[in-house]
């Protein structure tokens, strides 16, 4: 499976803190059935001030360590970008690494604050789409405001934003409300990718295989394949030129 959202790079956000943490998380990913992972540390202006360059360097260091330890996980680098008007200038400076491409647009993994869909969200996503960037909204099923009023997603979906659901929501690890919303978004065909959003081998492990089995059972093999293999591969294959 192809995991396009994980916090496996060491010491640059709230995921893996040391190279040992990263290697343990990478091993857990491989054991979970993940062959390729795009590392997506937070870019959260004023909190995690990562840039395309710092993320690429961290990814290169981890790639070397994975080789040294014979861990068979192929990695690439992008980011999970927190909603902020600063995104516009960061994109203009080429400081935002993208997940890849989808239907002719670059894909940006976009995270809203956990309790809200801020005023002006649709204006920022409109600006992005008009500039060749397709926002993929990270884990809408874990956003408190969307859980209360899921109708707020409609204008973003109408614009053409994509949705990424987190595997651990489908398994119930984020509680029954997130589980229900995740299952319903998948059943309604609104989800493009399911990803792990793994942070830690114990507290936030990769649960992609478990989510695959749930989607397979409820929606069928073709949907599970699309959400965890063919769609994420279609978006991110440019990160993996050797095996692609
Ligand atoms: Fe994340």
Q: What is the pLDDT of residues 6-19, one digit of tens each?
A: 999 999 999 999 99
Residue 242, pLDDT score: 66
- Quote the ligand 1 centre to 238 CA distance (angstroms): 21
Euclidean distance between CA atoms 34 and 92, whole angstroms: 33
Helix (H, G, I), strand (E, B) or coil at 143: coil
Euclidean distance between CA atoms 106 and 183, whole angstroms: 27
Residue 241, pLDDT score: 76
- Specify whether the CB–CB gap between 86 and 102 falls below 8 A: no
| pTM value surpassing 0.75 | yes
Q: Which domains does the chain have, with CATH numbers?
A: 2-237 (3.20.20.140)
- Quote the ligand 1 centre to 89 CA distance (angstroms): 22
Residue 33: exposed, middle, or buried by beta-carbon count in 10 A (0-12, 13-18, 19+)? middle
Tokens representing residue 173 in the block: 């690890």
- Quote the ligand 1 centre to 5 CA distance (angstroms): 6
Residue 244, pLDDT score: 43
- Quote the ligand 1 centre to 199 CA distance (angstroms): 8
- Quote the ligand 1 centre to 99 CA distance (angstroms): 13
- Quote the ligand 1 centre to 6 CA distance (angstroms): 6
Euclidean distance between CA atoms 27 and 8, whole angstroms: 11
Spans in the chain with pLDDT lower than 70: 242-244
- Quote the ligand 1 centre to 42 CA distance (angstroms): 7
- Quote the ligand 1 centre to 225 CA distance (angstroms): 22
Euclidean distance between CA atoms 167 and 109, whole angstroms: 16
- Quote the ligand 1 centre to 130 CA distance (angstroms): 25
């Amino acid at each position: 499976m192809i995991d396009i959202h994980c916090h496996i790079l060491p010491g640059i956000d709230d995921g893996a803190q040391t190279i040992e943490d990263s290697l343990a998380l990478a091993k857990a990913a491989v054991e979970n059935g993940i062959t390729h992972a795009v590392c997506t540390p937070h870019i959260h202006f004023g909190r995690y001030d990562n840039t395309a360059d710092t993320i690429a360097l961290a990814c290169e260091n981890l790639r070397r360590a994975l080789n040294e330890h014979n861990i068979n996980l192929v990695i690439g680098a992008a980011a999970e970008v927190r909603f902020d008007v600063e995104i516009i200038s960061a994109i203009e400076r080429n400081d935002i690494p993208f997940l890849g491409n989808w239907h002719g647009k670059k894909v940006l993994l976009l995270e809203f604050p956990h309790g809200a869909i801020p005023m002006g969200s649709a204006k920022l996503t409109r600006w992005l789409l008009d500039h060749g960037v397709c926002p993929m909204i990270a884990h809408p099923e874990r956003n408190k405001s969307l859980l209360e009023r899921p109708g707020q997603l409609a204008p973003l979906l109408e614009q053409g934003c994509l949705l990424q659901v987190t595997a651990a929501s489908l398994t119930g690890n984020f509680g029954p409300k997130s589980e229900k919303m995740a299952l319903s978004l998948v059943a309604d065909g609104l989800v493009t990718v399911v990803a792990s959003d793994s942070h830690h081998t114990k507290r936030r492990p990769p649960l992609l295989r478990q989510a695959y089995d749930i989607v397979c059972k409820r929606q069928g093999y073709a949907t599970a394949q699309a959400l965890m293999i063919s769609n994420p591969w279609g978006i991110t294959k440019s990160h993996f030129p050797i095996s692609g």
